[in-house]
Amino acid sequence: MGWFSTFINSSIGKKLIMALTGLLLIIFLIIHLLGNLTLFAGADAFNTYAGTLKKFEPIVRVIEVLLTIIFVLHIYNGAVLWWTNRKAKGSLYAVNARSKETNIFARTTIQTGSIIFIFLVIHLQTFWYPSNFSGGEINLYGLVTGWFAQPVYSGFYIFAMILLGFHLNHGFQSAFQTFGWNHKKYFPLIQKIGTLYAILTALLFASIPVYFLFFHGGN
């Protein structure tokens, strides 16, 4: 596998991993979001949705393993790239002209990614772990809405979703560029779709804690 490790460890190879895992995560987010939106339909709808997932547990477990691999690859590679790129730059200029050359979303992927990572850990700890390891049936709707009633929890959730939107606004088009799909005719459209996707994803994910915190009396 000499050629393959050379390929995958090259700068472009690492970026292709970022783009591939990033696009897979983008698809995952859509599915995850659709499921979460059943929360608006009330306890029964959400618990039925969660129960259905339980019925397909073996498949869900496989997907979870795949997701773990995807996340680990994305986060590990993102960290490695950030570190090597920092070293490749060396020192900075006396006058910072970055805002004239680039947009904030492109410059802050490591920062937004890191917050998303912290969010991910808290998210798994508060929702995924209890729903899988609390022994016996639990009322998932009650658990979720209970957390969302806490202003600090919901506040961080909303903050993280806004930063996820930042990450996606850059990431969506960036992944296309990394795969080499930048055509004069279509790329402006890809950029617009990416921004729309980022805004919708951030807004809809964040709308859930907003709803349960402010409009649904904490339950």
Residues in the site for other proteins, rule: CB under 8 A? 2-3, 6-7, 10-16, 81, 84-98, 100-103, 106-107, 109, 170, 173-174, 177-184, 187
Taking a C-beta distance cutoff of 8 angstroms, is the pair 18, 81 a contact? yes
Amino acid letter at 210?
A: V
Give the one residue of 45, 53, 60, 81 binding ligand HEM; rule: CB under 6 A: 81
Asked if 22 interacts with ligand HEM (CB under 6 A), we say yes
* In the complex, least distance from residue 11 CB atom to ligand HEM, rounded to whole angstroms: 9
Cα–Cα distance measured from residue 17 to residue 116, given in angstroms and rounded to the nearest whole number: 19
Contacted by 181, from ligand HEM, other proteins, none: CB < 5 to 8 Å by type: other proteins
Give the one residue of 140, 163, 167, 213 binding ligand HEM; rule: CB under 6 A: 167
Cα–Cα distance measured from residue 131 to residue 67, given in angstroms and rounded to the nearest whole number: 17
Cα torsion angle, 205, 166, 12, 84, sign: negative
Asked if 208 interacts with ligand HEM (CB under 6 A), we say no
Contacted by 167, from other proteins, ligand HEM, none: CB < 5 to 8 Å by type: ligand HEM
Stretch that binds ligand HEM, among 16-24, 49-57, 145-153, 210-218 (CB under 6 A): 16-24
Asked if 160 interacts with ligand HEM (CB under 6 A), we say no
DSSP designation for 134: S
* In the complex, least distance from residue 94 CB atom to other proteins, rounded to whole angstroms: 5
Element (H, E) at 201: helix 187-210
Tokens for 51?
């129960």
Task: Give how many residues touch ligand HEM by CB under 6 A.
Answer: 28
Cα–Cα distance measured from residue 156 to residue 162, given in angstroms and rounded to the nearest whole number: 10
Residue 203: partners with Cβ closer than 8 Å, 6 or more residues away: 165
The closest alpha carbon to 200, from 19, 22, 33, 24, belongs to: 33
* In the complex, least distance from residue 176 CB atom to ligand HEM, rounded to whole angstroms: 8
Asked if 169 interacts with ligand HEM (CB under 6 A), we say no
* In the complex, least distance from residue 202 CB atom to other proteins, rounded to whole angstroms: 20
Taking a C-beta distance cutoff of 8 angstroms, is the pair 71, 121 a contact? no
Taking a C-beta distance cutoff of 8 angstroms, is the pair 116, 74 a contact? no
Residues near ligand HEM (CB under 6 A): 15, 18-19, 22-23, 25-26, 29, 74-75, 78-79, 81-82, 109-110, 113-114, 116-117, 120, 167-168, 171-172, 174-175, 178
